[in-house]
Structure formats: structure tokens, C-alpha cells
Amino acid sequence: MKKYLFSSYHKVIYSYLLLFLLAFSFGFTDRYFEIAKNLDTFASIYRQLNSHYVDEVSPADLVREGIDAMLGSLDPYTEYIPESDIEDFKMNYVSKQYAGIGISVFTRKDKIIVSEPYEGFSAQRADIRAGDEILSVNGISVKGRGSSSVSEMLKGQKDAPVKLAIKRYGEKQPLEKTVLREVITFNNVSYTGLLQDSIGYIKLDKFLENSAQEVKQSLLNLKRQHRINALVLDLRGNGGGIVQESVDIVNLFVEKGNKIVTQKAKIKDKDMVYKATLAPVDPLIPLVVLVDRGSASASEIVAGAIQDLDRGTIIGNRTFGKGLVQQTINLPYNSLLKVTVAKYYTPSGRCIQALDYAHRNPDGSVRRVSDSLMAEYKTTNGRSVYDGNGIYPDLVTKEKSYHNIAYSIISKSLHFDFATRYRMTHASIPSARSFNLSDTDFQEFTKYLSDKDYNYTTKSEKNLEELKSIAEKEKYFEDIKLEYNALKNKLVQNKKDDLSRCQDEIKEILESEIVSRYYFQKGRLETSFKTDVDVKEAIKVLTDKNKYVAILKGQGPYKVIGKPKMEALVNAGKSSLNSN
């Protein structure tokens, strides 16, 4: 009896305790109940579809579609990486390394064409050239295959031979090449050199493993070998990478103890403050950082810190505006989840995230952070900078743009094919920096185009046709028909002169492609220095000490950087009211 009472007593106690715990935890478990409920619903739908859907469905594909749709509703950086994609993920986000022969290819009219060999690797050493058509790999025809499929065929075991049959312009018979696979590793720093006597230049393509060490070594080499007294760090087109690498790069130029970036997360354990922890390599060297719309994430950490600490001048165009931090989480079956866990903030406290994924438009599209919501922050020297819109440069340059005829020539690869022919008829050319396409060579190019299709529509033609359509709807066209035809004929005549009118920019495109056939990727970069407006502006600033200092001290027009348009309009309205 006592045993029974004791047991009953404990049952009552346990019941009350359980009820208490359940009641206490309801506030905390509602969300988890919702998760469990929806997982159960999803699993039920999955089972029923698999059992009853009229056609066969792939369980793996069905779930993958669901996962991708779920993550796609968040932001483009949160993604699921299955085991089959792990190696590609590592290539993009950790270390760009694989076993291959060192070429890139593209597809054109069902043909696989070598777009460029990478300097120093086995394909280049075997004299495989840009413009070569690949016919077969290890005896297997590539006809009908896509470029990604052929790229996979070229990769494989290190030191294994790859037999290629290629067709080359100017050669009657196919060429046979046997190339050994080797480990292809791409440096984060793709170029180190001089812009002029005392100005160093470092081109950083990505922030993967060892990028900070590569920048450091490049800087030290420039200082030792060339005694530079100024530096340009080019981050254009650099989409980012590892946060710590960007912090370590800033640390090369700023004193120990400076705050470089702050990471704020929903889970407070993931909040972090990154500071310079080492003595800098050179805290005084005049510095310019080049950025553009392709500069994102880690690039913006560097540019934002350099700007906020007034350590250097930012030149170019407004950056992408990615202020989100991702972390990879291990999942079952050797898969990964790359998930956005935090936002990062520059030393002044601004978040440079430009797109508001949390508050989408009714149609699901993503909106930019409104000008009216952009807050003002101060740099070390008191300059005004703003959040929510990427990193706005201290000096904004004109973005590169080409005429329609140039875009047409590029889109149809006519410049590429002409460079292929040029390489076969010219054994060598001057250095990349000094090469200029002669007028005779340009005339050869115009002759080459004479039987090629590079038709294009100008904006003037589009607008004229739009005017015609509107006039016809409004019953005015018959009254303006003569003027319309006269204007159309005039545009046709002007269009015939586009080739000569746009000679300079077409020459620039041709020179870049031709130089790459002799001096590869580095040559393409060096020849661009002649016309690169950002590089020219950087040289101008670094050779004008007064202007450089004025920018960093916020004197005159450099006091306010990237003021939002909305605020400017509001202030203009206030001024108008005050004047009345």
C-alpha cells in the first residue's frame, strides 16, 4: 500500500512538473511547434506525391526543388550544397585549385573553342592557343557537348596524359597534342607591377586562402625592388571571399588596435569585432583603392575600412552593396548549408547592404534601401559617409561604355577571330604596354568585317520606330511620313560611318585581344593601363600630394561622400522655403 501511495504521489508530482514545464515553455516552443508541424506537412505531401502522382517523380529532384525554392525566398547567398557540388564550392569559396591542363573553353555553333590558355601551365607550354577548336579529348569526340562537359573531360588525375585533337586557323590538318594534367592553382593576386616609376600596383581578384599573405608579399617586393612611394590596390570585379583575409589586408596599412569590421548576428555568440592585431607593413604609404559595381563583400570591407579610417582614397564607382555574412553548416550525407548569419559594419558603424531582402515588394522583387533611410556616419577625420548603398568612392569616375557597333563585334566574337588570324601572321609584337594597332591593321579589320554579319540596332533607330508606332496609333503618321523617311535614311547613312567614328574604342578592344595572344592575362591588363580612366585618376591623385591630403582631411568638396539623393532634395526644398 505504501509502495502504491509512493508511486501515485510521484506520478502526481511528475504530472504537475510536466504541466509546469510545458506551460513555461509554450512561449519558447510555439516557433518550434510551427517548424515541426510544417516539416510533418511537407513529409506527408512528399509521401503522397511519390505514391499517387500519375507520372514517375524523382524523390531527390522533388526535394531539391523544394529546398531551392525555400532558400530562394531569403537571399541569393543562402544555398544548399549537395555532396556532388562540394568540390565546385571549395573552388569558388576556399581555394581555386584543381587538376587539369590550364585552359578555358566556350561553345560557338556547336564547336568547342579555346578562349584562352593560362600562362605557365601545361596547355600553354604545349602551344595550345586561343582560337583553337577542340575536336576530341582522349579519342572521344566533343561534338554536341557543352563547354562545361568538355571542361570536366579535361580535368582528372594529376600527371595523367590528355590527348587532344585540335583544329587551328591556317592549318590544313588537325594537330595532335598530348598534355599532362597538373595541379592548377590560381593566385589571389593576379598582377603586381609598376604604373610608373614610383607607383606600385596590385591586382587582387579574390579573397580566398592566403590572399592577405600574397598582398603582403607583393607589397614587400614592390618596396624592396622598386622602392615605391605610393600604391594602387585594385579590387574591381572582386566579389569577395573570406572575411579574415580582408581584415588582414587592411591590417597591412593600419596600426595595431584599429577596428576594421564588426559582425552583428541574430545569435549573439556570432557577434564579432575584427581589429588589426599585428604591426602594419606600411601605415604611411599613400594608398588608392580602385572599386566598381563588381566589388562586393570582402572588397567592401577593405574599401570601407580604408575610407572610414581615412587611410587612403577610394576611386571608381559605387560598390555592389553586399553587407551580409555567410557561414557553412555541415549537413547529413556530406552536404553543406551556406547560410547568412550576420551583417557586417564598417569602422564608422555603417552597414553597406544595398538590397533589403527582408522587406520585398508585393511581386516578390527586392527593393534597394531607400535614400530617406540612409543614415550619416563620420570617418576618423569627420568626413560624412552613408550606409545602405555600398561604398561610395571619394572620387567617382565615368563608367566604361561602348557604342552599339563595338558591342555587336564583341557579342559575335569578331574581335576574337581577327586576333586569331593576326597571331598566325605575326610571330611577335612589341611589349603589351607599347603595342598599338596600326592604321593599316585597322583597315585589315574593316576588310575582314566586309562579309561578316555584325548588324545592330542603335538607340536612335529604336526610338524612331517607337515614334512611328505611337504616331500610327494616334493617326499622325501620314502627316509626318516624309520627315520620318528622311530621318530614317539619315540614320542609315550615319550608321555606315560608325566603324570609323568608333575607331578608337574598337582599336582598344582589338589591342586587348591581340596582346593576350602573346602576353596572356597579364598582357591584357597591362595594355589596359593606357586607357583605364580609374588608373589614370589614381596616378593623378598620387602625384598631387595636396589633393590626396585634401581628400583625406575632407576639405572642400571632399567633406561629404555619396550624399543620398533624397536628402539632397529635402535640403533643396528647405532652402527654397527659407528663401521665401
Active site residues: 297, 308, 322
Q: State the residue for C-alpha cell 551583417.
A: 343
Reference 541, options 398, 434, 396; nearest CA is 396
Cα separation, 73 vs 325, in Å, equals 17
Kindly tell me the burial class for residue 208, based on how many C-beta atoms sit within 10 Å of its own C-beta (0-12, 13-18, 19 or more). buried
CA distance 107 to 150: 10
> What residues contact residue 181 under an 8 Å CB cut-off, 6+ apart?
99, 100, 101, 122, 154, 155, 156, 157, 158, 159, 160, 161, 162
> How far apart are the C-alpha atoms of 403 and 410, rounded to whole Å?
11
Angle at 208 between CA 205 and CA 214, to 5 degrees: 70
What is the distance between the alpha carbons of residues 156 and 137, in angstroms, rounded to a whole number? 12
Closest CA to 336 of 67, 42, 149, 98: 67
Q: What DSSP assignment string belongs to 535-555?
A: HHHHHHHHT-HHHHHHHHHT-
The SS3 assignment for 574 reads helix
Q: Which amino acid type is present at position 420?
A: T
Task: Please tell me the distance from the alpha carbon of residue 274 to that of residue 267, in angstroms, as a whole number.
Answer: 17
Residue 559 CA to residue 505 CA, distance in Å, equals: 35
Name, in order, each residue with C-beta under 8 angstroms of 129's C-beta and a sequence gap of 6 or more. 114, 117, 168, 420, 423, 517
List residues bridging with 79 in a β-sheet.
338
Q: At what angle do helices 243-251 and 211-226 cross, to 10 degrees?
A: 30
Residue with cell 566586309: 450
Query: If we measure between CA atoms, which residue out of 404, 531, 506, 407 comes closest to residue 448?
Result: 506
Helix (H) or strand (E) holding 172: none
What gap in Å lies between CA 564 and CA 368, rounded to an integer? 13
- What is each CA distance from 361 to 72, 308, 355, 374, 579, in whole angstroms? 15, 32, 12, 19, 38
- Angle at CA 248, nearest 5°, toward 247 and 254? 85
| Integer Cα distance of 243 and 297 in angstroms | 8
Which of 255, 248, 362, 371 has its CA nearest to residue 298? 248
